[in-house]
């Protein structure tokens, strides 16, 4: 656990030091769970968004993208169920006065048991060496099985109590497990209460006529209310999808873990409209497709897993999360939900407008079913960033900090250096910049020794460093250094564009899907 905490602290400080993420309004001591993306962070975020958009919209001739408003008619949230059901179970510790999500307290308790399992596995790995079979050990070791059973029993009871809205039992569970407040250490808890997560605001100038609005807690509803507009104007035929990326707002109680859980965040969602009865097939299809998208970035197959939901949201008939191994353990990165016709039917009912599709092949109208893929852009940012940050031991017994971002997502693709600040080398380096900047985000640096400049770019995640030296003046060649291997080679200036393109081009990466 201590190691995980240390690694996570490094992630947060590195994100600040290298201009990726700042706390919002830092000069006023910040605002809890609100963050700003800095010069490098904004680029990384944009590249992740583009990577998603290209894979989901551009590469699918039956998926289109839209961009709907954050403000929506308040009835939207009545219809969607958010006014009545978008809440978290809260519990307060009477001594520290700190408020917690009751389900998260229980889940954290289970994470501690999971850490014990990992410890057993590590111990056995050491003991058995090469002959160690992890899967078999987990399936047969009595101690591990005991821990796992305990986790399953706790989570299943939590799921059932939440589903039945039996908040008294959630409190009973916390008491039975003797969970203490991490701050005060006391077990002096209030009852568990529900708390709505939507932010309210007002539209209009005068107090009497102002209309109560909510900041959208998800982007999906902007897609549902436009379903027919898009279907008609785009002459879309089922199955088809509508995608969008944009801000969403939730008054989260457990605001911690940096950009993992924010109060203002960005989603990338796609609603896929299908014929009723085909949802199982499409659920499997999108599970597989989305996992392939993640794996195409080469961040390690072992870092992902599916977590099928036992407790389904009010709108879903099947749901799974793609979980990622963050520095604090496996957590939800993306949700894939089979939402049935819940949303379109609800909007039909509340608006009085028909939201049906006429199927020419079947010669009848019906309300389509919907499959949703929903990923948090900020969470994806954290996955990419935390996975990339590492300390490497080098052969000469020194270490380097390197941010091995997938090159396609890296904010700066190449840094160009003159070896020295004289003899016409800066001019040549700047000429190279002038040429490359039409295709890539590039960076010029002439300060400090070249070795130091390399290290700065390693820590910044830049895949290539290009150095102009005296030989360049004679034969128009430069050295190009690769971030991950640190290998250097001599290439012609005229080759640079192709070399960089091959490594950073979206097509090269998406083809791996």
Positions that interact with ligand ATP (CB under 6 A): 218, 250, 252, 261-262, 265, 267, 332-335, 374-376, 378-379
Residue 1 near residue 7 (C-beta atoms within 8 A): no
Q: Is 240 helix (H, G, I), strand (E, B) or coil?
A: strand
| Residue (of 471, 492, 498, 403) closest to 19 by Cα position | 403
In angstroms, give the least distance from the CB of 480 to ligand ATP: 37
Shortest CB 260 distance to ligand ATP, Å:
6
CA proximity to 47, closest of 324, 386, 411, 362: 411
> Could you tell me the smallest distance in angstroms from the CB atom of residue 482 to ligand ATP?
32
Q: Measured from the CB of residue 330, what is the shortest distance to ligand ATP in angstroms?
A: 12
Q: How is residue 176 written in tokens?
A: 């039975």
By C-beta, is 265 or 293 nearer to ligand ATP?
265
Distances (CA, A) of 94 to 100, 168, 184, 187, 188: 11, 17, 9, 9, 6
Find the shortest distance in angstroms from Cβ 31 to ligand ATP: 14
Pairing of strands 399-403, 389-393: antiparallel
Residue nearest to ligand ATP according to CB distances in the complex: 376
| Cβ proximity to ligand ATP, 323 vs 435, nearer residue | 323
Among 189, 234, 197, 233, which Cα is nearest to 215's? 197
Query: Whole-angstrom Cα distance, residue 253 to residue 469?
Result: 55
For ligand ATP, give the closer residue by CB, 246 or 376.
376
448 half-sphere exposure, CB direction, 13 A CA radius = 10
Between residues 379 and 483, which has the closer beta carbon with respect to ligand ATP?
Answer: 379
Find the shortest distance in angstroms from Cβ 165 to ligand ATP: 17
* 353 within 8 A of 225, measured Cβ to Cβ: no
Distance of CA 365 to the CA centre of its chain: 37
Nearest CB to ligand ATP, comparing residues 275 and 311: 311
Give the start-end residues of each E strand in 394-476: 399-403, 414-418, 442-444, 464-468
* Distance of closest approach, residue 218 Cβ to ligand ATP, in angstroms: 6
d(CA 28, CA 298): 39
307 backbone φψ class: left, alpha, beta (φ>0; ψ -120 to 50): beta
Instruction: Please write down the HEC assignment for all residues of 27-41.
Output: HHCCCCCCEEECHHH
State the nearest-atom distance from the C-beta of 199 to ligand ATP, in Å: 12
Whole-number minimum distance, CB 88 to ligand ATP, in Å?
8
Residue (245 or 460) nearer to ligand ATP, CB: 245
Alpha-carbon span 110 to 122, nearest angstrom: 19
- As measured in angstroms, the least distance from the Cβ of 250 to ligand ATP is 5
Three-point CA angle 375, 377, 381, nearest 5°? 120
Phi first, then psi, for residue 138 (nearest 5°) are: -65, -35
Task: Using the minimum distance from each CB to ligand ATP, give the nearer residue, 76 or 374.
Answer: 374
Tally of CB atoms within 10 A around 277 = 9
Q: Which residues contact 325 (CB under 8 A, 6 or more apart)?
A: 302, 303, 304
């Amino acid at each position: 656990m201590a190691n995980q905490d240390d690694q996570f602290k490094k992630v947060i400080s590195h994100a600040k030091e290298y201009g990726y993420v700042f706390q919002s309004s830092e000069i006023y001591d910040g605002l809890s769970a609100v963050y700003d993306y800095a010069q490098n962070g904004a680029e990384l975020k944009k590249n992740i968004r583009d990577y998603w958009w290209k894979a989901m919209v551009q590469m699918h001739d039956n998926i289109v993208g839209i961009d709907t408003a954050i403000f929506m008619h308040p009835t939207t949230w009545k219809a969607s169920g958010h006014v009545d059901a978008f809440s978290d179970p809260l519990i307060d510790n009477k001594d520290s006065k700190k408020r917690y999500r009751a389900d998260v307290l229980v889940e954290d308790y289970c994470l501690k048991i999971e850490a014990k399992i990992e410890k057993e596995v590590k111990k056995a790995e050491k003991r058995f060496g090469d002959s160690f079979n992890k899967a078999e050990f987990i399936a047969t070791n009595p101690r591990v099985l005991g821990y796992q059973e305990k986790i399953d029993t706790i989570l299943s009871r939590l799921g059932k109590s939440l589903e039945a809205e039996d908040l008294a039992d959630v409190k009973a569970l916390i008491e039975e497990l003797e969970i203490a407040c991490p701050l005060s250490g006391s077990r002096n808890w209030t009852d568990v209460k529900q708390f709505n997560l939507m932010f309210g605001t007002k539209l209009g100038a005068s107090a009497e006529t102002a209309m109560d609005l909510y900041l959208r807690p998800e982007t999906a509803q902007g897609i549902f209310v436009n379903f027919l507009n898009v279907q008609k104007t785009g002459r879309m035929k089922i199955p088809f999808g509508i995608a969008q990326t944009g801000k969403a707002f939730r008054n989260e109680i457990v605001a911690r873990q940096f950009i993992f859980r924010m109060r203002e965040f960005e989603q990338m969602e796609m609603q896929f409209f299908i014929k009723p009865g085909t949802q199982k097939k499409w659920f499997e299809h999108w599970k597989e497709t989305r996992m392939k998208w993640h794996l195409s970035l080469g961040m390690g197959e072992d870092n992902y897993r599916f977590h099928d939901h036992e407790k389904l949201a009010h709108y879903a008939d099947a749901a799974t999360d793609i979980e990622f191994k963050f520095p604090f353990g496996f957590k939800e990165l993306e949700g894939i939900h089979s939402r049935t016709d819940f949303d379109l039917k609800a909007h039909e009912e509340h608006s009085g407008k028909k939201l049906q599709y006429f199927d020419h092949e079947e010669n009848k109208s019906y309300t389509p079913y919907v499959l949703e893929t929903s990923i948090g852009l900020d969470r994806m940012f954290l996955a990419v960033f935390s996975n990339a940050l590492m300390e490497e031991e080098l052969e000469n017994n020194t270490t380097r900090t390197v941010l091995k971002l997938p090159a396609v997502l890296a904010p700066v693709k190449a840094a160009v250096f003159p070896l020295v600040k004289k003899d016409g080398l800066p001019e040549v380096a700047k000429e190279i910049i002038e040429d490359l900047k039409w295709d890539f985000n590039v960076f010029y640096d002439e300060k400090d020794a070249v070795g130091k400049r390399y290290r700065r770019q390693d820590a910044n995640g830049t895949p290539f460093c290009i150095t102009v030296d005296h030989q360049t003046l004679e034969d128009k060649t430069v050295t190009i250094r690769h971030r991950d291997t640190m290998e250097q080679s001599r290439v012609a200036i005229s080759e640079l564009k192709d070399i960089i393109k091959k490594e950073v081009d979206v097509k090269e990466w998406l083809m791996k899907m």
